[in-house]
Amino acid sequence: MAHNEAVDVVLVGAGIMSATLAVLLKELDPAIKLEVVELMDSGAAESSNPWNNAGTGHAGLCELNYTPQAADGSVDIKKAVHINTQFEVSKQFWSYLTKKSTFGSSKTFIAPVPHLSFVQGEDGVSFLKKRFEKLHRHHAFADMEYTEDKAKMAEWMPLMMPGRPADEIVAATRVINGTDVNFGNLTNQLLQHLTSAPDAQVKYCKRVTGLKRNNGGWTVSIKDVNTGNSRDVDAKFVFLGAGGAALPLLQASGIEESKGFGGFPISGQWLRCDNPEVVKHHQAKVYSQAAVGSPPMSVPHLDTRVVDGKKSLLFGPYAGFTTKFLKHGSFMDLPMSVRAGNIGPMLAVAKNNMDLTKYLVSEVMQSMEQRLESLRRFYPEAKAEDWRLEVAGQRVQIIKKDPKKGGVLQFGTELVASKDGSLAALLGASPGASVTVSIMLELIERCFPEKTKGVWATKLKEIFPAREKVLETDAALYRKLNTQNNLSLELVEPSSETQSYA
């Protein structure tokens, strides 16, 4: 009887998550044997593709939904601080890799773009001011500037100020050292670096058709979508990092921890402008507040995007609804994901989120004129002929059991791992890609606890001089590492940066 091929690790999906985890594991154990399998014919074809996400290096600098305001008016900055330090951990990893000859230049995937928050009306201004005062006192946000001066705002965002009513009440904050990240290029650079090492393969046009437990881990059935040929691979550890497709695969594994999870697919659309005359007047990512009653993923923002050296502007997102779990998926994805164990939570979410469902339907039904109307709240003089509609990637928001409500819809990411640590899956969406490194470190700690405390500890300390908790509290160390990483990722010019710290 023929034996199956055997590897240490199989990673499903060639997006930012799998690419990061594979490279991390290979750095920690160069002898590890791993295989990445991807359904599409290239890496980063779904959510990691640069036009399928906003490309914001999420660091809590401008995203107002990361600093919620309580009923008593106070602003909670915990989440923004945590996301900021997670992004710094990502930068530590990328900085470490840029020193390797097989990794390539950071200039191809990360560019400096200021992050701004912009608000309108007295309530908005009062919230932004409180947010600024609280964040500004924290070392991670010490460089943040605040203004209610319209002339100053016209310098910061020249496209957005002309054409506004003279009596309009507005305010803005700015952090110069924000970033735009091309997660598609980053993913492909990680995959290329990975395959330059022995015993690391990335195989495209492959569909995972089965997951079965065996005595040493899992047997993964893989089908070639072009030839129809199938093969079985035995792996000690399996990671399901296939974006929206991770949920059906997690269900197929049958692990106890997968029970009760459902998925709610939300698609997105952007308005995109490539007119260089318009693009050159906006060098920022400007986030505002979601309209009252809208879900958090509808926070409008006008972004500079740098894709393959060319600048464009994106405005949105406009939410949409489809039953597909992937942009290139099937309309049967949602109905096929219904199980006895998750139908309760899914129906509860449908019942308790009628406003969200109505919102999504109204977004889908919008005319181009209505979409331009929301753009003009940001950019009053926008011309229709400069903008076109671009379909973004699919996000599958998580539905999970809830003892009180039956089921809740969760925005964010969730790591699900089997008790024995032999299989893990990543579900959910934002701030996803920016904090991938932290999420994958958490996965490694959960699934390989002995090794992270033992043989891998020294290497982890070398790659990551400081983790999130330390960065949140140690201002001097935060500033030192932030400066070093910004230099090695070429986000600042060496001379100006070193002089300011002299």
- pLDDT tens, residue by residue, 402-412: 778 776 666 66
What does the pLDDT read at residue 392? 63
pLDDT reading at 250 higher than 60? yes
pLDDT tens for each residue of 205-244: 999 999 999 988 999 999 999 999 999 999 999 999 866 6
- For residue 307, the model assigns a pLDDT of 76
Determine the average pLDDT of the residues in 65-93: 95
**How confident is the model at residue 72, as a pLDDT?**
93
- According to DSSP, the residues that pair with 200 across neighbouring strands are 34
DSSP alpha helices (H): ranges in 99-222? 121-136, 150-156, 183-195
Output DSSP code: residue 290: P
In which band, very low, low, confident or very high, does the pLDDT at 39 lie, cut at 50, 70 and 90? confident
pLDDT 10s digits, 162-215: 999 999 999 999 999 999 998 889 999 999 999 999 999 999 999 999 999 998
- pLDDT reported for residue 499: 42
Mean per-residue pLDDT for 289-299?
Answer: 67
Per-residue pLDDT for 463 more than 90?
A: yes
Distances (CA, A) of 10 to 5, 203, 350: 11, 11, 35
Task: Supply the pLDDT for residue 138.
Answer: 98
Q: Which residues of 344-357 are buried (b: 16+ CB within 10 A; e: fewer)?
A: ebbebbeeebeebe
pLDDT digits (tens, 9 = 90+) for 113-152: 999 999 999 999 999 999 999 999 999 999 999 999 999 9
Non-local (6+) Cβ contacts of 110 within 8 A are: 57, 94, 179, 180, 181, 182, 186, 489, 491
Residue 23: is its pLDDT beyond 60?
yes
Give the pLDDT score at 479. Answer: 97
- Coil, strand or helix at 143: coil
pLDDT-based confidence at residue 497 (cuts at 50, 70, 90): very low
State the pLDDT at residue 498.
46
Cβ-contact 303, 281 below 8 angstroms: no
- Predicted TM-score of the model (pTM): 0.88
Quick: pLDDT tens for 336-357: 666 666 666 556 656 666 566 6
Residue among 47, 84, 92, 86 at smallest CA distance from 63:
84
Share of residues in the chain with pLDDT > 70 (%): 79
The overall average pLDDT reported for the chain is: 85
Residue 94 has pLDDT above 60, yes or no: yes
475-488 pLDDT, tens digit per residue, is: 999 999 999 999 99
**Confidence band for 41, pLDDT divided at 50, 70 and 90:** confident
Q: What is the pLDDT of residue 339?
A: 60
Share of residues in the chain with pLDDT > 90 (%): 60
Q: Which of 158, 176, 233, 153 is nearest to 62 (CA)?
A: 176
